[in-house]
Structure 1
Amino acid sequence: MSIDTAKGVLGDATIAELETGLRGTVVRPGDPAYDQARAVWNAAHDKHPALVVRCAGTADVIRAVEFARSQDLLVAVRGGAHSIAGFSTCEGGIVIDLSAMKGAVVDPVRRRVVAQAGMTWGDLDHETQAFGLAVTGGLVSSTGVSGFTLGGGVGWLLRRHGLASDNLTAAEVVTADGRVVRADARENPELYWALRGGGGNFGVVTSLEFELHPVGPQVLAGLIFYPADQARQVITGWRELTGAMPDELTTLINLTTAPPLPFLPEEVHGTRILALAGMYAGAPEDGEAAVAPLRTLGTPVADLMGPMPYLGMQSLLDPLWTAGAHNYFTSAFIEPSDDAVDAVLRHHAMSPTPFSELHLHQLGGAFARVPADATAFSQRDAGVLCNVIARSADGTGFDEHVAWARAARQEIAGHGRGTMYVNFTGDAAEDRVRASYPDAVHERLVRVKDAYDPTNMFRLNQNIRPSGAS
C-alpha cells in the first residue's frame, strides 16, 4: 500500500527498502499499532505522520535520517514524547522515534553516565540512584531526558548542581547528512556549546553523557500547602528568604487548585491554594534548619515536608501529570517585584480551570554561577522562572484555557526582559525564540546551524533558522 506524504507518495517498495535496513520497525497508517505509535503525551497535538520509525539504535537513526533526506520528508524526533509544543510528531512526515533506546552505563568511580536518548528521567534516575548518584532531572519522571536537557533542564538540583545541560559532558549526534559526530569540550566544541540550551536544532542526539553527583537515597523534600488568602504574604516572605537559602535547597511556588487528596482537609478541596515545594540536596538532617522558615510564612493547611527517597520526590507529581490531557505551557524569566506578584495573583484568580497553574521556580545558586558564554542557555541572571500552565483533561474549553495562559504570560513577562524558557514557549514562534537569546548568542547558534543543518531539516523545535533558509 502506498502512503501519501506532505511531499508526495511513498510506494511499498520504497518503504520495504527502508525496513530491510533497520533493526527496529516501521509503523505506517493502517497498521494495528499506528494509533498508539503516533500518540504523544500531550493530546493537544493529534497528528498523522506518514511513517513512524521505531529505532533500535544509532544505525537505525542514521538510516531514518538518510531516508527522510532522500524522500524530502518533514522530520519529527521523539524521545520521551511529552511534546509540549507538538514537536515530536508531525502531519505527513516521518517520526524518528527513539523511545526504545533506553540503555544506560553508569561509571560510579568517574561519576559519569552515558544514557541513550529514549530514556525518561524515571529510567535514568533508577539507574543512577543504584549508586547514590543523580543529575538534575525533570519534575515529572515521564519527561524525556534528551529534550529536557537540550533546552536547558530545570529541576530540583538546579541550585546545587546547575541545569541538566550544565552537566552534559558529551553527546553523540546524527547530523542532517547522516554522519555520527561526538560533541564535547574538545571535539566539535561549538556544537557542544549549542546543544546545551539551543534545543534540538542541530541533529538527532542519540546518547548523552552526564556528570553525576552524590544525591540521596534520602533527601528532605515535599510540599507545604497554604490557603489562597495568604498567598501574597507567603510569596513575599518566600522572596525575602531566597537570598539567604543555601544552594542545597531549591524551591518552587505553585498557585493551583487543591486536589481532592486525603492529605488535604476536605474543606479546601476544589479551592485555590498555594503549594510551596522544595528539596534539600544534602543530608536530610542538615536541611531541617534550611526549610524551617518555609513553615512559618503563614498558617499551613498541610505540611508534607520531610525525609523521603530522592526517587519519591522525582515522581511525586506524576499522578497529576498523566498522559492524554491537553496541555499548554508557556513561561517568562522575571524578577519577583511587588508588581510581578500582583500580576501572578491576579491571573491565578482568573484561571478558568482547576488544572490551570502558575509556578514560580527559584533560580540562583550553581545555576547563576555558570559563565554566560559557557552554554547557549543565556538567562543566568534571572531571579525566578514563571511557568504558566493550562490543562484540560479531555480538551473541553482548551482554547479558552490557552487564551488565559497567553494573556497571563504576556503581562507577567513585562516584569522581566521578555525572555522565556525555550522548553516552555507554548507555540512554535520564532520571534519568541529569537527574543530569548541575546544577539551574540543567537548569531553563534545560527553559525552552528549553518555548519550542521544548513537546510533546516531539523526544524520541528524552537527553531534556529540557518542563514540560507527562507
Structure 2
Amino acid sequence: MADYGHELAFGTFITPQSARPQEAVALARLTERAGLDLATFQDHPYQPAFLDTWTLLSWVAAQTETLRVAPNVLNLPLRQPAVAARAAASLDLLSGGRFELGLGAGAFWEGVEAMGGARRTPGEAVDALDEAIDVIRGVWDADARGGVRVDGEHYRVQGAKRGPAPAHDVEIWLGAYKPRMLRLTGRKADGWLPSLPYLPREQIAPANAAIDEAARAAGRDPREIRRLLNIKGGFGPAGSGFLQGPPEQWVEELVELVREHGFSTFLVMGDEPRLIETFGAEVAPAVREAVARERAAAGTSTAPVRGPQALAERRPGIDYEAVPPSLAAEAVEPGDRAYRSVRSSYVHRGSPGLVLRPRDAEQAREALVYAREQDVPLAVRSGGHGISGRSTDDGGVVIDLGRLDEVTLLDPATGRVRLGPGARWGDVARELGRHGLGISSGDYGDVGVGGLATAGGIGLLVRRHGLTIDHVVAAEMVLADGSRVRADAEERPDLLWAVRGAGGNFGIVTGLELEAYPVGDVVLATTVYDASEAAALLTRWGAAIERAPRELTSFITVVNRGRGPAFAQAYSVYAGDDAQAAADALAPLLEAGPVLDQRAHLLPYPNVIPPHGGDHVGGGLGGVRAGLLDHLDAPAAEALARLLGSGEVPLLQVRSVGGAVNDVAPLATAYAHRSQQFSANAVGRSAARLDELWDAELLPLQHGLYLSFDTDRRPERLHDAFPEPTLARLRELKARYDPDQLFDRNFPIPPSGTRDHSSSKAMLS
C-alpha cells in the first residue's frame, strides 16, 4: 500500500484553443459548477493555436469563485522564473489563494528556439528547472533578509527584491518521468504531476520509489510530496479498457490508484461537457467516500505532513499530535511556508507555536477546547490589525477567526446584519452600501469585525451614529468551558452587556448581529497642515470640532519624523450629502492652522473605507499609548506637542468622539467612557520610553483609555479601561463565565473573589 494520506482533489485538464477562446473559459466555469476543485491548462507559448496560459488563468480566476487554477505545466524555457514567481504570487493574491504552479523542464525545442528561447539538452533542462525553483521560492520568501541570490548555470539572480508573497502556500508540481526529474521532484517539489497516457502503469511504483528515495536523502518525508495524475478516459455502459466504462468502473480504478500508488489529485483530460459533469457528479464524490472508508479501516494518517526541519521548530508545551482532525489540515506551525502570513498582526510581529484556523463556530469551539489543554498562552485574532499586539503571541496558540467572514443582511427593513468576526470592515461597508446602509467602523477597511465590534469602534461616523458597539444587538460565542451560547436582550443580556466593550475577556465571538442604519453619500475632506506649531494647531482644531454639528467627525494625525517640518493631516467625514452644509461645517477647520492642501469629495460611504487586503506581517511599532480627553484644550495640546518634540514619538493621532457617543449612559455598555470628546494615541519608537513620557505628560490629563490602542500591559491600566462601577460588574461576570481566566490577554479582568493586582485609580494620578 502506498497511500500518502493527502486530501483528495478532482479537476480538469482543458485545451486552451485560441480559435474558440470562450470555450476554455466555459469549461472552467462548468468545472466549478460540477463541484470539482481545479481547472488546469497546458502551456505552449510557441503554439498560436493556443491562448496564452497566464492570461487565460487570470481570466478564469476572475470569473470563478472557488475554483483553483494551475498551468499543466508551465513552459519554463520561455517563462523567466523571477518574473513567473511574481506573476504566480500576484494571481494567487488576486484570486484569494486559488493558484498552484505546475512546472515543466521544457520540450518542443524547435518552437522554443523560434520564440527566442535557448535550446537545452535534457540534462541542462533539469538543471535549469532546479535553479528556477530556487529563484521562485526565493522571490516568494518575502520575510527573508536581503535580496534573492541564485548563481546558477542557467539563471543568475543578483539581489532581486523579494515579494510579493502569495496569499497561500502555493505548491510547485513537476511534470516528471525520467530518473533525474523524479529525483528533483523528491528533493524540491511539492507535487508530482505526470499524465497517465505517457506513464505506463507498471512504471508508477518505480517512479514513486525514486521520488521517495530522493526525498529521504534530502531530509524530507516522502509524504510531503503530493501525487497528481492527468487521466484520460470515457464513460459508457460497459467496460472496454482502463477508465473506459460506467462511473462505477472509474470509481473502482481511481480508488486503486489512491490506495496502491498514492495519487490524490485526478485531472480529467478532454473538453466534453458531459465528461466533466459526470466526473464531478458521479465519480469524485464516490471516490472520496470509498477512500475515506478504506483509510479509516486501515488507519491511514491524513494529517498534514511536515519534514524534519519543520518538526524541529515545534514549541514546548503544545501537543501537536492532538490537534483535532477537523483543524489539522489548516493548522500552521513554525517552519510551514504559510507561517509568515499568520504569525503576526498588522503592526506587531509574533511567533506563535501553532495557529488554528477554524471555518465555522463548531470548529472554533474545538480549537478552544484543544487550546485550553495546552501549557502555553492563548490569543484570539479576528482580522489581525492588532494595534495593541494582543491578537498574537510568542510560543502559544493563536485561534485565527479570519475565515469566519460572513456578511449577511438579515432584515433590510430594520438593517439587521449578521457579521462573522473575521470579516473586514471594508467588505462590510461595500455589502451594506448596496442596500443604502452603513455602520461606523474605524478608518481602515482592513480591520477585522471581531476586535473592533467588541472593544468600542471609533469610526468616521461616530459623532453622528455612535460607537460600533452601540449597534450590536446579539453575539454568538464560545465560552471558556467550551459551550456555545447566544447573548441578546432576552438570552444572557448580562453577557451581551460585557461583550459591548470587553468582549475579548469573555469568550470567542463567532458571530455578531448589528443594526445598520441608512447611509448614503457623504463628504470626505482631507486637510494637510503645517504642524510646526503643533499645540496651537491641535487646540484650534479641537475647539472647531466641539463646535461642529455632530454630522462632522474628524481625525487628525500629526507626523514628525525628524526629517523636514512636522505636518498634520485631518481626515473628516460629514455624514450627509448636503454639500453646502458640509462646506459650512468644514470651514472652521481651515482656520485651525496653515493649510498646505485641502480637498473634499462627495462619495458613497464604502469608498471612505474600501477593503485594502493589507499584508499582516508586523509593522514594527515600538509601542502605542492611548488616552481619552474631556477636551483638547491648551494643556492637553501642549502635552501632546511635547511628546512630538521629544524625538521619541514620530506620530500621534487625535480622534473626535462626543456627539452620539455621549448620548449613551455610561453603564449601558461595558465601554463606560461617555463624557469625553477626544481619543488621543501616540506611537513611540521605544515602548518603555513612550510609557515614561506618556505617564508624565498625558496620564494626569486623561480620563480613561480606548483599550485596543494601548500596548501598556501594566495592570494599573485596567482601571483606565474600565472605571468603577463597570469594573466591579465585569469582575462578577468574569467569575461566572471565565473563572479560570482563560481569556487573559485583553486587559485581563480578575474574577470577583480573587485579588485585583492593579493599583487604585488614585495611585495612578
TM-score (norm 1): 0.87
The one-letter code sitting in structure 2 at the alignment partner of 1:423 is S
- The structural deviation recorded for 1:134 is 0.9
Q: Tell me the CA shift for residue 11 of structure 1.
A: 5.5
Flag the 1:222–1:405 CA change in 2: closer, same or farther, 3 A.
Answer: farther
Which residue of structure 2 lines up, in the alignment, with residue 40 of structure 1? 345
Gaps of 5+ in 2: 1-310, 756-765
Corresponding residue number in structure 1 for 2:697: 411
The 1:151–1:11 alpha-carbon spacing in structure 2 relative to 1, beyond 3 Å, is: closer
Q: What residue number does 1:324 align with?
A: 618
DSSP 3-state at the match of 1:229? coil
Residue equivalent to 2:487: 183
CA positional deviation for 1:284: 4.1
Q: What is the CA distance between 1:458 and its match in structure 2?
A: 1.1
Change in Cα spacing, 1:333 to 1:11, as seen in structure 2 (3 Å) is closer
Report deviation, 1:433: 1.6
Q: Secondary structure at the match of 1:222?
A: strand
* 3-state SS of paired residue (2:642): helix
Query: Is residue 2:315 matched to residue 1:10?
Result: no
The one-letter code sitting in structure 2 at the alignment partner of 1:367 is V
| Matched residue, 2:743 | 458
**Cα deviation per residue 1:17-41 (whole Å; 9 max; x = unaligned)?**
x12x449722233333233332322
Deviation of residue 123 (structure 1)? Answer: 2.0
Q: 1:116 Cα shift? A: 0.5
Identify which of 663, 670, 678 aligns with 1:369.
663
User: Is 1:143 equivalent to 2:447 in the alignment?
Assistant: yes
With over 3 angstroms needed to count, the CA separation of the structure-2 counterparts of 1:439 and 1:251, relative to structure 1, is same
Report the AA paired with residue 326 of structure 1: G
CA RMSD of aligned residues (A): 2.6
Deviation at 1:78, TM superposition (A): 1.1
Which of 22, 31, 46 is the matching residue for 2:336?
31
Q: 1:446 and 2:755 equivalent?
A: no
After TM superposition, list the pairs within 5 Å mapping 1:125-136 onto structure 2. Answer: 125-136=429-440
CA 1:307–1:455 in 2, change beyond 3 Å: closer, same or farther?
same
The 8 Å contact of residues 343 and 617 in structure 2, kept in 1 or not, is answered as no
Q: After superposition, give the CA deviation of every residue in 1:179-235 in whole Å (9 maximum; x if it has no partner).
A: 11111122101111111111400000001111111113x311121112123544433
Q: How does 1:47-62 map to 2 (within 5 A)?
A: 47-49=351-353, 51-62=354-365
* Bigger proportion of residues as helix: 2
Q: Measure how far apart 1:58 and its partner are.
A: 0.4
For the Cα contact (< 8 Å) 1:79–1:146, is it kept in 2?
yes
Aligned to 1:394: none
Amino acid at match of 1:31: D
Deviation at 1:360, TM superposition (A): 1.9
Q: Alpha carbons of 1:252 and 1:84: their partners in 2 closer, same or farther (altered >3 Å)? A: closer
- Within a 5 Å distance, the mapping from 1:13-412 to structure 2 comes to 14-15=322-323, 18-19=324-325, 21-22=326-327, 25-43=330-348, 45-49=349-353, 51-106=354-409, 107-216=411-520, 218-257=521-560, 270-285=564-579, 286-315=581-610, 324-327=618-621, 328-334=623-629, 335-352=631-648, 356-390=650-684, 398-399=685-686, 403-404=689-690, 406-408=692-694, 410-412=696-698
Contact 1:198-1:377 within 8 A present in 2 as well: yes
- Residue number in structure 2 paired with 1:266: none
**In 1, Cα distance between the equivalents of 2:385 and 2:547?**
35
Q: Which amino acid aligns with 1:59?
A: E
Contact 1:139 1:315 in 2 (8 A): no
Contact 1:171–1:183 (CA under 8 A) maintained in structure 2: yes
Q: Say if 2:380 and 2:508, in contact at 8 Å, map to a contact too.
A: yes
Q: Is the 8 A contact 2:536 2:637 kept in 1?
A: no
- When normalised by structure 2's length, the TM-score is 0.54
Q: How has the CA–CA distance of structure 1 residues 258 and 129 changed in structure 2, closer, same or farther, with 3 Å as cutoff?
A: farther
> SS at 1:60's partner residue?
helix
Higher relative contact order structure (alpha carbons within 8 Å, sequence separation ≥ 6): 1
The structure with the largest alpha-carbon Rg is 2
Residue 473 of structure 2 contacts residue 489 of structure 2 at CA under 8 Å; is this kept in 1?
yes
Which whole-Å CA distance do the structure 1 matches of 2:433 and 2:329 have between them? 29
CA 1:254–1:320 in 2, change beyond 3 Å: closer, same or farther?
farther
One-letter identity of the residue aligned with 2:735: D
State the Cα distance separating 1:167 from its structure 2 match.
1.0
Q: How many residues align?
A: 441
Contact 1:24 1:60 (8 Å CA) reproduced:
no
Percent of pairs with identical residues: 32
d(CA) in 1 for partners of 2:364, 2:538 = 47
Q: Distance in 2 between matches of 1:155 and 1:425?
A: 17
SS at match of 2:475: strand
Instruction: Rate the CA distance shift 1:405–1:434 in 2: closer, same or farther, 3 A.
Output: closer
Q: Distance in 1 between matches of 2:351 and 2:754?
A: 25
Deviation at 1:282, TM superposition (A): 1.2
* 2:197 corresponding residue in structure 1: none
CA deviation string 1:299-323 (max 9, x = no partner): 311002332332232249x699975
State the 1:413 CA deviation. Answer: 2.5
Q: Does the aligned pair in 1 maintain the 2:522–2:604 contact within 8 Å?
A: yes
Moved more, 426-435 or 247-256: 426-435
The structural deviation recorded for 1:102 is 0.9
Q: Secondary structure at the match of 2:513?
A: strand
Residue 288 of structure 1 and its aligned partner are, at CA, apart by 1.8
The residue type paired with residue 336 of structure 1 is L
Q: Distance in 1 between matches of 2:607 and 2:688?
A: 31
Whole-Å separation in 2 of the counterparts to 1:119 and 1:322 = 15
Residues 257 and 2 of structure 1: CA distance in aligned 2, closer, same or farther (over 3 Å)? closer
Q: What SS does structure 2 have at the residue aligned with 1:113?
A: strand
Cα distance, 1:61 vs structure 2: 0.6
- The letter of the residue matching 1:407 is L
Q: Quick one: which amino acid aligns to residue 459 of structure 2? A: G
Partner in structure 2 of residue 393 of structure 1:
none
CA distance in 2, matches of 1:310, 1:342: 34
Contact 2:346-2:385 at 8 Å conserved across structures: yes
3-state DSSP of counterpart to 1:200: helix
SS in 1 for 2:745: coil
